[in-house]
């Protein structure tokens, strides 16, 4: 396991605060309130380890399957429904949403290989990530990728805690399935918008892994 580069600054600041708080604690409290100094040390150590774990990059075998849509994030499936997509396709599509808790790995990965034909950042609200309107009203970053099978849209959506979305793609980029394309700090949600005729392979409340779990497959093969 390694640490994601998005976490270097945050972990550095957290480590300095951990050291400063505990130096002051032991200097001024340990002689008379040793139990309090120990409690402060344990609590701040837990918080530091939590922050470090948030930016972890675990080793895993990634899924490469050209007729499949691979999950872009770790988390839980909270929505599988048909919607009228209004941002890009403007027609009926199937939406699959993955809720990312603060304990999940927060790297975002490309659901399929292809060319980025649309990339748009939207300012917005910070509703909790499971709120039905978070998909259209929250701060978010939308990407559409096209290949021989078709086009899909996927969104990084900020939540009540997540206030920074990192996206590394731009229109014209050639992206590879399961390769990293972004990062969301401190929990949020990712929506994947696919054609309604695709074969959905996941269920509500299923735990999924980014770059590993197959969300759906195209009902035909491209030779």
Catalytic residues: 188
How much of the chain is in helix, strand and coil states, percent to nearest 5? 20, 35, 40
**Rounded to whole angstroms, how far apart are CA atoms 25 and 76?**
40
Say how many C-beta atoms besides its own lie within 10 A of residue 71's C-beta. Answer: 28
Q: Degrees (nearest 5) of the Cα angle 51, 72, 49?
A: 10
Task: Enumerate the β-bridge partners of residue 125.
Answer: 138
**Rounded to whole angstroms, how far apart are CA atoms 37 and 33?**
7
Q: To which H or E segment does residue 210 belong? A: none
| C-alpha closest to that of 215 among 79, 49, 29, 57 | 79
How many residues does the structure list for the chain?
A: 223
């Amino acid at each position: 396991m390694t640490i994601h580069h998005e976490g270097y600054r945050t972990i550095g600041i957290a480590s300095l605060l951990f050291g400063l708080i505990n130096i002051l604690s032991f200097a001024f409290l340990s002689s008379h309130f040793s139990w309090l100094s120990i409690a402060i040390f344990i609590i701040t150590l837990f918080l530091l380890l939590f922050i470090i774990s948030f930016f972890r990059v675990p080793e895993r075998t990634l899924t490469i399957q050209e007729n499949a849509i691979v999950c872009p994030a770790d988390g839980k499936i909270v929505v599988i429904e048909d919607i009228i997509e209004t941002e890009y396709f403007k027609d009926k599509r199937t939406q699959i949403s993955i809720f990312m808790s603060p304990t999940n790995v927060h790297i975002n990965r490309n659901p399929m290989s292809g060319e980025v034909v649309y990339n748009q950042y939207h300012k917005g609200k910070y509703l909790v990530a499971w709120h039905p309107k978070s998909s259209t009203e929250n701060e978010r970053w939308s990407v559409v990728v096209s290949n021989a099978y078709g086009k899909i849209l996927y969104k990084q959506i900020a939540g009540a805690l997540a206030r920074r979305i990192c996206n590394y793609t731009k229109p014209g980029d050639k992206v590879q399935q399961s390769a990293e394309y972004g990062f969301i700090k401190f929990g949020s949600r990712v929506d994947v918008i696919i054609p309604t005729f695709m074969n959905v392979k996941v269920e509500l409340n299923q735990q999924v892994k980014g770059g590993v779990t197959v969300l759906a497959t195209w009902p035909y093969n491209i030779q």
